[in-house]
Structure 1
Amino acid sequence: MSVLSVDDDLWCRRYHPSPTAKARLVCFPHAGGSAPFYLPVASALSPDVDVIAIQYPGRQERRAEQPLTDVDSLAERIHDLLLRQPSLPVTFFGHSLGATIAFETVRRLEAGGSPVTHLFASGRRAPSAHRNGGGNIHLRDDDGILTEVRRLNGTAASVLGDQELMRAALPSLRADYQAAETYRCAPDAVVGCPVTVLTGDTDPETTLPEARAWEQHTTGTCTVRTFPGGHFFITAHVGAINSLLREHFSQ
């Protein structure tokens, strides 16, 4: 293990540090999301689990930094910093774009001989399930991007109504959409860890067949759990998802 750096503290948010934790959960936010989205998870799993919420550059206290615009760059940076963390069995949880970044980070860790225990992929179709005709949101004007955010209902109404806050978030939103929409994955790209896919039954971004297609991308088991709701179904089912994670870490 390498010595932790200041850069690691920028990327990794520990809201409930626990020196006695026996396992680690790394959480990857959605497009336009930030580390505090996973505060309820950190609170629910502490002190048994060391919960790290990733903070991408270009948002909140990192707003002055240039956001990254491709999945590979994000995965490379996160892979490197995770290698410097104290050694514990590690599980990944990613929602939407975060699921894709988590998948690519697992691939890099496994290639270097650092296995991941489990991947929870939430609100995201399988890595190779590319939709024809899509992928232009990051090319829209500011109002077009904000319209998409409102359509998916992933931001609190109080924030959506604050034009100053939303305009400040636009650079990171655009960068995240560019990362999601330009990502391509070979059909034979796989991880070795088990994958649990969480999906909303009315999510316009992920059909059930697209969620099930994750089974093509793991040599381990693949389980799909469906919840009532759209793309941000997880905000309405925090308790159930935290229970699912507690069950996972109790095994």
Structure 2
Amino acid sequence: MSTERWLPFPRPPGEVRLYCVPHAGGGASSFRPWIGAMPGVAVCPLQPPAREARLRDEPIRAMEQMASEIADVVQDSADGPYAVYGHSLGALTAFETVRELRRRDSRTPMPVHLFVSGCPAPQIRDSLLPNVHDASDEEVVALLRRLGGTPESLLGDPGLLGLILPAVRADLEVKETYRYTPEAPLDLPLTVLDADDDPRAGTAGTAAWREQAAAEFALHTVGQGHFAVFEQAQITHKYLLEALTPWL
């Protein structure tokens, strides 16, 4: 495992690192426009294998491995206060990464904040499609269209689809084989960014994240649709900055 491969962009200036975990099939470039957009926050997008600059790397197919590798990256690179953000599948991954860091009880401090969006709480069992990671290409593409956020020019190009579908399927396998194990709620602030009309995260499932917070909890609405946090980035950044202000 190479920390540099997980962190493809140079560390930007900022008092607080914000490690960002992308959605299923997504890569570090999803968060690249956020770099430099929040004064004092060093946005550090994470790059899972089998996509973008890591296209030739073997994909990860289990949450335990994904969370463990990201925890390694955080322990190796955190150089001060830091927070973790995850969207959609990335929200579950961010949550399990923070729990993995807590289990290790190592010299690396816990994050000052956890941010999640586009995902029901981990204790809520949900399903996109039965065995969607083994579904036909047509069914996977239909799912991506329904969620939005993937350019039609990509979905309609068989050659480009062949490049992205392995990562999408691997990530969906991570999601479908994930089994929540109850542990004590996290003793750190937790902020949930909600969106209206999100087919992946209903109001009740999103609000249930409150059960995972033993400390401060906040729930904000940023817009409409599954990728509202990116489409309404200015609102998203406002809530992130407000939460991180004590460490800036």
Q: TM-score, normalised by structure 1?
A: 0.90
- What corresponds to 1:170 in structure 2? 165
CA RMSD, Structure 1 to Structure 2 (Å): 1.8
Deviation at 1:196, TM superposition (A): 0.7
Q: Distance in 1 between matches of 2:70 and 2:29?
A: 17
Deviation at 1:86, TM superposition (A): 4.2
| Deviation sequence 1:69-126 (CA, Å, 0-9, x none) | 1111000011112111142111111000000110011011122333111111110100
- Is the 1:32–1:172 Cα contact (8 Å) retained in structure 2? yes
Q: Secondary structure at the match of 2:224?
A: coil
Q: Secondary structure at the match of 2:214?
A: coil
Q: Secondary structure at the match of 1:174?
A: helix
Aligned to 2:38, which of 38, 42, 45? 45
Matches within 5 A, 1:112-191: 112-113=104-105, 114-131=109-126, 134-191=129-186
- Is the 1:25–1:92 Cα contact (8 Å) retained in structure 2? yes
Deviation at 1:189, TM superposition (A): 5.0
Q: 1:43 to 1:157 in 2, by over 3 A?
A: farther
Matched, 1:33 2:26: yes
| Deviation sequence 1:205-239 (CA, Å, 0-9, x none) | 11111011111112112211123312111232111
- Is the 2:127–2:176 Cα contact (8 Å) retained in structure 1? no
Letter of the 2:192 counterpart: V
Aligned to 1:83, which of 75, 91, 103? 75
Q: Distance in 1 between matches of 2:93 and 2:128?
A: 22
- What corresponds to 1:199 in structure 2? 194
Aligned to 1:103, which of 88, 95, 105? 95
Deviation at 1:168, TM superposition (A): 1.1
- Is the 1:40–1:238 Cα contact (8 Å) retained in structure 2? no
Q: Distance in 2 between matches of 1:103 and 1:133?
A: 20
Matches within 5 A, 1:53-72: 53-72=45-64
Aligned to 2:15, which of 13, 22, 28? 22
Q: Secondary structure at the match of 1:92?
A: strand
Q: Secondary structure at the match of 2:17?
A: strand
Q: Secondary structure at the match of 2:199?
A: coil
- What corresponds to 2:244 in structure 1? 249
- What corresponds to 1:93 in structure 2? 85
Q: Distance in 2 between matches of 1:122 and 1:152?
A: 14
| Deviation sequence 1:129-148 (CA, Å, 0-9, x none) | 00379542112012211111
Q: 1:135 to 1:28 in 2, by over 3 A?
A: farther
Moved over 3 A (4+): 132-135
Worse-matched range after superposition: 137-146 or 99-108:
137-146
Q: TM-score, normalised by structure 2?
A: 0.91
Deviation at 1:159, TM superposition (A): 2.3
Q: Distance in 2 between matches of 1:126 and 1:51?
A: 24
Percent identity between matched residues is: 34
Deviation at 1:194, TM superposition (A): 1.3
Unpaired segments ≥5 residues, structure 1: 1-5
- Is the 1:16–1:42 Cα contact (8 Å) retained in structure 2? no
- What corresponds to 1:210 in structure 2? 205
- Is the 2:119–2:201 Cα contact (8 Å) retained in structure 1? yes
Unpaired segments ≥5 residues, structure 2: none
